[in-house]
Amino acid sequence: MVYIGIDLGGTNIAVGVVSEAGSILAEASTKTLAQRPYQDLVKDMADCAKKALAKADLTVDDVKSIGIGIPGTADQEKGLVIFCTNLGWANVPLRDELQKYINKPVYIDNDANVAALAENFAGVSAGCKSSVLLTLGTGVGGGIIINGKTWTGAHGRGGEVGHMTLVPDGVPCTCGNNGCLERYCSATAIIRMAQQECLGYPDNAILAKAGGDPEKINAKIVIDAAKEGDPVAVRVFDQYARHLALAINTITAFFDPEMIVLGGGVSHAGEFLANAVRALLPRYIMFKALPGPRLELAKLGNEAGIIGAAMLGK
Amino acid sequence: MVYIGIDLGGTNIAVGVVSEAGSILAEASTKTLAQRPYQDLVKDMADCAKKALAKADLTVDDVKSIGIGIPGTADQEKGLVIFCTNLGWANVPLRDELQKYINKPVYIDNDANVAALAENFAGVSAGCKSSVLLTLGTGVGGGIIINGKTWTGAHGRGGEVGHMTLVPDGVPCTCGNNGCLERYCSATAIIRMAQQECLGYPDNAILAKAGGDPEKINAKIVIDAAKEGDPVAVRVFDQYARHLALAINTITAFFDPEMIVLGGGVSHAGEFLANAVRALLPRYIMFKALPGPRLELAKLGNEAGIIGAAMLGK
């Protein structure tokens, strides 16, 4: 038997046929075109699934279940998308609609949870009894895995690490609160901090790489400049790493997973980032003599969305 | 069959015989006298257990298992107390030692976890699939319950909510870090904040209740004065409630339990405290339209230690 994994993004719908062992056997994808009625998107999901099955010389009869990772919040029992801001969805009966085309069990979960599941099944945290993935992108998402299952909490709010309060009365957040973790640990935060530093110290490698235009600064530019030792970039990077270490301390004190995994765009900074955070943790973490969570980089990349969604039914 | 629950405190060892339904059938207790060799304490535990069994007209043959709540960190697999600062214990083979006297399965866990389990079994959070207990005392402890079991994390650090970072670079903590949650949400924090406020505004109800001596201020005095509307006490109480609400926001964003339970000495402020925190949460919590965790007061009191320890084996 195989599993269908669907990665529903704001730009693309990517669908894969996934083996019991967590390998992608075949893929198909299409544009999301999010403005359409949800029924049209769901029909495209089913068409892509059938196309991918055909590529793998399989049929719907070979499918055990379908999993969908969504950029939003799901009610797993009812098979609903509670909301999905990027797509303008609220209370969409995704499971029922998809079962009109492929009548198999359908599981729905948040995309960060799904990525965490993929890493825990076939990635860096494979075999861990508990793990937490932090997706360090435009915002910060998170996924919690306990005994091979995603933990989404009692009301679908679990794993929203980006909105843990990191700094009381801190930087205003899009959610209406202040000082949320994602205001300090996202790519957006790196850009904001770099732009602020550049106001005071315009003669730096960040601005040089951005062609002198602060609006063109991105996280990669800042991290590359920090790797080269530019003092302004190093200061921004150190602030970033420090906030991430404080966040990881809080997750460790509360939950103490076997492993914490860094994913998302900022994690492409690689061991440069992971080592910086690892070096800071002993300063913050209690019970210094006891072992703590391992901190590692995600390794599945874009495939995580499909693999993790597929594994929701396992 | 019955369960033995042992509440190992710095002052007393309290032992109870507990029914399948979570009621205490009989109790016995003795002084801890923590300076003694651990072997002597463990012998006293066994003697108290046998005494309590006799009171309930039962024998060791009626016992299914023994659970022990300790003021420290346990290795549940090995049956060890990793450390227990109050008792000066490190790597004490508690399970093996106790089984010399009563050869039944022995389970060991942190006292806050055990109290959380008691509330989840027979207290305010009975029947919740997930709950978090915050013990607001001299420090702040915590216990996480998932599907009727304590969650202690991968390395025994889980539930140490008192050392989540609430305020980066905040008040120095005994653990060596700064800004730990327990520096803002404990009874000690209330006293510290009140003493600071009294320096600037000595004409207040707190100092009057403390006989004019700032060293005699305790959390109850401050909360009583706040209930009476004393402006200085209200300011301290509001700061306290606000930090607690921020901490609860962080726990909700990360873990989203079905219920968050307030226990420990400060929780004796009752609905005055719970209502103040409930009123603040909508300001902080994301997805305001979604339901969130219920916030309630613990209801088992001192019995929680025995009942929860007993239920470790259930």
ipTM: 0.93
For B217-229, the pLDDT digits (tens) are 999 999 999 999 9
Chain A hits for B128, CB-CB cut-off 8 Å, are 154
The C-alpha of A272 sits at a distance from chain B's nearest C-alpha, in angstroms, of 23
pLDDT at residue number B288: 78
Is A292 within 8 Å of chain B by CB?
A: yes
Chain centroid to CA B304: 9
- Spatial CA neighbour of B157 closest among A33, A288, A193: A288
* Chain A residue with Cα closest to B170: A167
pLDDT at residue number B58: 97
* Chain A residue with Cα closest to B177: A284
8-state DSSP, B190: H
Q: Which two tokens stand for residue A89?
A: 């969805």
pLDDT at residue number B218: 97
pLDDT at B75 over 80: yes
Chain B hits for A165, CB-CB cut-off 8 Å, are 166, 246-247, 249-250, 253, 284
| Banded pLDDT at B76 (limits 50, 70, 90) | confident
- Spatial CA neighbour of B223 closest among B179, B257, B191: B191
* Chain A residue with Cα closest to B254: A159
The C-alpha of B282 sits at a distance from chain A's nearest C-alpha, in angstroms, of 10
Q: How far apart are CA A302 and CA A29, in angstroms?
A: 13
Is A199 within 8 Å of chain B by CB?
A: no
For B113-148, the pLDDT digits (tens) are 999 999 999 999 999 999 999 999 999 999 999 999
Is B251 within 8 Å of chain A by CB?
A: yes
Whether B157 and A82 lie within 8 Å, measured CB to CB = no
Q: How far apart are CA B126 and CA B307, in angstroms?
A: 13
| Banded pLDDT at B100 (limits 50, 70, 90) | very high
Please list, in sequence order, all residues whose beta carbon lies within 8 angstroms of the beta carbon of residue B100, skipping any fewer than 6 positions away.
none
Geometric angle at alpha carbon A174, from A173 and A178, rounded to 5°:
20
| B-contacting residues in A 140-159 (Cβ below 8 Å) | 142, 144, 146, 151-159
The H-or-E segment that residue B138 falls in is: none
The C-alpha of A85 sits at a distance from chain B's nearest C-alpha, in angstroms, of 11
Is B229 within 8 Å of chain A by CB?
A: no
Is B76 within 8 Å of chain A by CB?
A: no
**Where would I find the H helices in B65-218?**
94-99, 111-122, 182-185, 187-200, 205-209
For B170-209, the pLDDT digits (tens) are 999 988 999 999 999 999 999 999 999 999 888 999 999 9
* Chain B residue with Cα closest to A141: B254
pLDDT at B85 over 90: no
Whether B168 and A163 lie within 8 Å, measured CB to CB = no
Residues of chain A with pLDDT under 70: none
A–B interface: beta-carbon pairs under 8 A:
152
pLDDT at B92 over 80: yes
For A7-43, the pLDDT digits (tens) are 999 899 999 999 999 999 999 999 999 889 999 999 9
Is B272 within 8 Å of chain A by CB?
A: no
* Chain A residue with Cα closest to B286: A175
| Banded pLDDT at B102 (limits 50, 70, 90) | very high
Is A75 within 8 Å of chain B by CB?
A: no
Contact B152, B109 (CB under 8 A): yes
| Banded pLDDT at B215 (limits 50, 70, 90) | very high
Closest CB from A161, A253, A288 relative to B161: A253
Is A166 within 8 Å of chain B by CB?
A: yes
pLDDT at B156 over 90: no
- Spatial CA neighbour of B186 closest among B234, B135, B122, B139: B139
Closest CB from B155, B163, B286 relative to A177: B286
Q: How far apart are CA A255 and CA B244, in angstroms?
A: 18
Contact B109, B102 (CB under 8 A): no
Residue B305 DSSP SS3: helix
Is A253 within 8 Å of chain B by CB?
A: yes
The C-alpha of B176 sits at a distance from chain A's nearest C-alpha, in angstroms, of 8
> Long-range contacts: A80-85, Cβ < 8 Å, 24+?
A80/A108, A81/A108, A82/A156, A82/B290
Per the prediction, chain B carries an average pLDDT of 95
Closest CB from B154, B157, B243 relative to A129: B154
Is B234 within 8 Å of chain A by CB?
A: no
Q: What is the radius of gyration, based on Cα positions, of chain A?
A: 20
pLDDT at residue number B283: 92
Chain A hits for B158, CB-CB cut-off 8 Å, are 254-256
pLDDT at residue number B45: 97
Best mutation target, A173, A256, A283, A290, to test chain B (most B CBs within 10 A):
A256
Q: How far apart are CA B3 and CA A309, in angstroms?
A: 43
pLDDT at residue number A145: 97
The C-alpha of B245 sits at a distance from chain A's nearest C-alpha, in angstroms, of 10
pLDDT at residue number A156: 86
Whether A249 and B177 lie within 8 Å, measured CB to CB = yes
Please list, in sequence order, all residues whose beta carbon lies within 8 angstroms of the beta carbon of residue A204, skipping any fewer than 6 positions away.
A197, A198, A225, A230, A231, A232, A233
Categorise residue B190: left if φ over 0, alpha if ψ from -120 to 50, beta otherwise: alpha
Whether B251 and A254 lie within 8 Å, measured CB to CB = yes
